[in-house]
Amino acid sequence: MITNQSPLFSEIRDIILQSRQHVFRMANSALLETYWGIGKVIIENEQKGKDRADYGKSTLKNLANQLTLEFGKGFDERNLNNMRAFYKSFPIWNALRTELSWTHYRLLSRLNSEEKINYYLNESVQNNWNSRTLQRQINSLAFERVLEHSSVKEKPETIQNLIKDPYIFEFLGLSSETKNSERSIESSIINHLQQFLLEFGKGFAFVARQQHIVTDTSDFYIDLVFYNYILKCFVIIDLKTGSLSHQDIGQIDMYVRMYDDLKRVESDQPTIGILLCSEKDETIVKYSVLADKKSVFASQYLLYMPKEEELKALIESDIQKFELDNKE
């Protein structure tokens, strides 16, 4: 009798799973090619001496009725518009990433700039985002929350390309209406580590919680330690509730220097420190080591998903301060 633990079972199970994955990839690729081709024909038909207004809704509606009658669901007017947008956003078939699903591309096609599309597409592929995660990242304005975007594709990643401000931790399940301790936030992060890493950005791997650092005279405990395999450096996180203080900044700066001295090896790049705080005092940020934007950063975190207008206002304020600091 074959049991789940037998080598024979495991080998056959792997063959079946690989076969199913292959079939899924082939079917997904065929679906994308079909929808892309339909979008291409619609766009080309529109462009034969006619603009979008002249083309009219009736043409697409009649087409949808005919296709639905012949082939069933999946070809209604709304989906034909999705296919049209799909081709318009991705006019080169060979540039498509077929590991992404039709739902991914439907979401990406609604974005209003090529830079945003490329960002979310690359993040989806590199971080293996499912369509639900992609939807959350778009809704939470992940692109806008990244501190700095590179306009040069070949330019290497920097910490500024990875850090966001603010971070949104609604998945921790903590109320923003009550006083949460740093320890309770830390515990919730550990309990929701996968979602935290998805929100935090690409390349981060968990190393330790409350890591004990011993010096000649004292003992220290660092809240959270990660390693970023893209930047090849340790990233230490200090959680703070309430207003950011000079003491908080001095502490994270000391931790970074200490980690470089005691934990970093020759192959590692310099350690990065991030203060995750519920409130930021921009005057303190401006007149501290945080202004250097080299090894120590401060980002606000929210324990709820804000309304789009509120989030845009927060992001716009941070962008203006970031650009002003860079000019200075």
Tell which of 62, 96, 130 closes a domain: 96
Q: 72-114 pLDDT, tens per residue?
A: 888 999 999 999 999 999 999 988 999 999 999 999 999 989 9
The residue-averaged pLDDT of 30-47 equals: 92
Tell me which DSSP letter residue 164 carries: B
In this predicted structure, what is the pLDDT of residue 318? 67
Residue 182 shares a structural domain with residue 61: no
Q: Are residues 318 and 232 located together in one domain of the fold?
A: yes
Count of structural domains, the chain: 2
Identify any residues that bridge with 309 across adjacent strands, giving them in sequence order. Answer: none
Q: Report pLDDT digits (tens) over 7-28.
A: 888 888 888 888 988 888 899 9
Report pLDDT for 57: 65
Residue 307 counted as domain residue: yes
One domain for residues 323 and 230 = yes
Question: Rounded distance, CA 94 to CA 32, Å?
Answer: 12
The answer to whether residue 78 is domain-embedded is yes
The residue out of 48, 72, 96 marking a domain boundary is 96
Residues 89 and 183 in one domain: no
In a domain, 105, yes or no: no
Last-in-domain residue among 81, 96, 111: 96
Tokens representing residue 211 in the block? 């890591």
Assess if residue 112 is contained within a domain.
Answer: no
Q: Name the nearest CA neighbour of 89 among 104, 78, 76, 75.
A: 104
Going from the C-alpha of 223 to that of each of 99, 131, 149, 188, 304, the distances in angstroms are: 36, 32, 28, 13, 22
Asked whether residue 78 falls in the same domain as residue 164, the answer is no
314: containing domain: 159-327
- Do 316 and 222 share a domain, yes or no? yes
CATH code at position 225: 3.40.1350.10
pLDDT of residue 153: 63
What's the pLDDT band for 138 if we cut at 50, 70, 90?
very high
Query: How does the average pLDDT of the chain come out, rounded?
Result: 88
pLDDT tens digits, one per residue of 170-199:
999 998 888 889 999 999 999 999 999 999
pLDDT over 50 at 49, yes or no:
no
* Separation in Å, CA 117 to CA 30, 50, 106, 137, 161: 22, 27, 11, 12, 16
pLDDT exceeds 70 at position 152: no
Residue 118 forms part of a structural domain: no
Q: Give the predicted TM-score (pTM) of the model.
A: 0.82
Task: Report pLDDT for 139.
Answer: 94
Q: Based on the domain organization, do 170 and 319 belong to the same domain?
A: yes
Reduced to 3 states (helix: H, G, I; strand: E, B; else coil), residue 243 is strand
Residue 61 is assigned to a structural domain of this protein = yes
Q: Does the structure show a pLDDT above 80 at 327?
A: no
**pLDDT tier at 205 (50, 70, 90 boundaries)?**
very high
